[in-house]
Structure 1
């Protein structure tokens, strides 16, 4: 946890990541818009980073509490919320594995769109989901995100002139563990069936499972500069629940109802 915290505090700028990866951001927002129904929902964003999604949802009038392991991200969320002219219900430094200080069954929606990227042990991944479920009201929505175990291959394809190790890339399909010295902080990349089985082992009704970037991933920079960007986003959204193209995505999104 210290190594992951240091990565986000000292090395990586998570706020600008979604400027570079607008496809992920825009399609995920479309899912949130589709499934989050009602006014002034009470939302808890676990591992919400610098607040991209928290601020987006606060702008829609929801009451959003953000929690993140990185103190830098939490402070950035406060700054960016103020710049956007919205107020978060809370922005606190904390760990997805210990949410005991927060009231149970108090939230209409819980976002878990970050912690599952970095919890390399299944017991910890399950613990983070159990904690999220405890906070969620009956009938509430849990939104969870995973990094796909195809992501390293898709990333290499995106930067196709960069050197890479073929065996290493293919190994992720069998073992999703990414060590800190492999160009990213400690992470766990998840397969489709593994992600679905994990989420569906809880008291949740699966509403959606999506491959976010799908066919757009390796052409993202060109698409972002294209006047046809909105049309490509429509296509990717239409294909996002097509199981035949899940492996072309770098991120998976699960939405379930408690």
Structure 2
């Protein structure tokens, strides 16, 4: 399945206005998953005034928290519309002084606008790497190139199993009745999801935990943490709304999820696979 930057950019432009609104309406479930990923970012956050690259297709939710922690940011995105919305949010929160650059990228797999060894941390979240399909190795090489030696790299990629879980859970009968036409067998056998018109997602590659581990290790990244985000609480929307009423229980459930999702058997059970690594000294 071929990576198509134009189709991806078109999708992101159409989706841009929904990004922040969807996050703000995501309730307890969205907050729980956000806090999970943010906990890894905080764990590996470099010192104050460090420069961090937020690279990808998310609307800047994590970047706001990082800026509030007095770190400098460069935010790179394919979509000019997405960047403009993010810029406005930073203005609203009076955090624009923490932004080094809003970078409109021509390509996810070509970061030549950034010099080698520029960043003290690189974030590539919301499945961004997955959307580069067969070019995923090129994107990883570029991420490694612009990251300082020893600096952390945090990625969240799309998994293969969650795709099928969602189709079955949501009873997407058109796909289940015609699995070959819908690309289900292709996804199962190759990991590639076929392109769907908006509001469906563009083509992407669904990783397994083993695959993303091998890809990073083969590209000079030492693996520090792997987790299947939301392995235990997956789709427990109503349950988490109830649990949020009690801070102690909420914290206990968070601890349970955080500890169990790092078990190798649960890497592929979450909604995304999160990997923390660091650039090795060659």
Could you say whether these structures have the same fold, taking a TM-score greater than 0.5 normalized by the shorter chain as the test?
Answer: yes
Q: Is the 8 A contact 2:109 2:132 kept in 1?
A: no
Cα deviations by residue, 1:56-97 (Å, 9 ceiling, x for unpaired):
211111001000011111111101111222122211210222
Q: 1:116 maps to which residue?
A: 129
- Given candidates 227, 231, 236, the residue that maps to 2:252 is 231
* 1:192 equivalenced with 2:216 (yes/no): no
Q: Which position in structure 2 is the counterpart of 1:85?
A: 94
Q: CA deviation at 1:225?
A: 4.6
Provide structure 1 residue ranges, at least 5 long, that are not aligned to the other structure: none
Q: How does 1:129-168 map to 2 (within 5 A)?
A: 129-156=140-167, 159=170, 163=173, 165=176, 167=179
Which has the larger displacement, 64-73 or 167-176? 167-176
2:267 maps to which of 237, 242, 246 = 246
1:5 paired residue among 9, 16, 19:
9
CA deviations on 1:124-159 (whole Å, 9 max, x unpaired) are 211111111111111111111210111113323554
Alpha-carbon separation, structure 2, partners of 1:64 and 1:115: 18
Q: Which residue of the partner structure matches residue 113 of structure 2? A: 101
Distance 2:82 2:156 in 1: 18
Separation of aligned partners in 2, 1:11 and 1:47: 14
Q: Residue 173 of structure 1: CA displacement?
A: 3.6
Q: Judging changes above 3 Å, is the alpha-carbon distance between structure 1 residues 172 and 17 closer, same or farther for their aligned structure 2 residues?
A: farther
Q: CA deviation at 1:181?
A: 2.2
**In the aligned structure 1, how far is the partner of 2:92 from the partner of 2:242?**
26
Flag the 1:217–1:171 CA change in 2: closer, same or farther, 3 A. farther
Secondary structure (helix, strand or coil) at the match of 1:103 reads coil
Q: How many residues align?
A: 255
SS at match of 1:119: helix
Aligned CA RMSD, in angstroms, stands at 2.2
TM-score by length of 2: 0.82
* Residue 171 of structure 1: how far off its partner (Å): 5.3
Question: How far apart, CA to CA, are the structure 2 residues paired with 1:36 and 1:92?
Answer: 22
Which one has the largest radius of gyration? 2
Q: How far, CA to CA, are the matches of 1:206 and 1:198 in structure 2?
A: 11
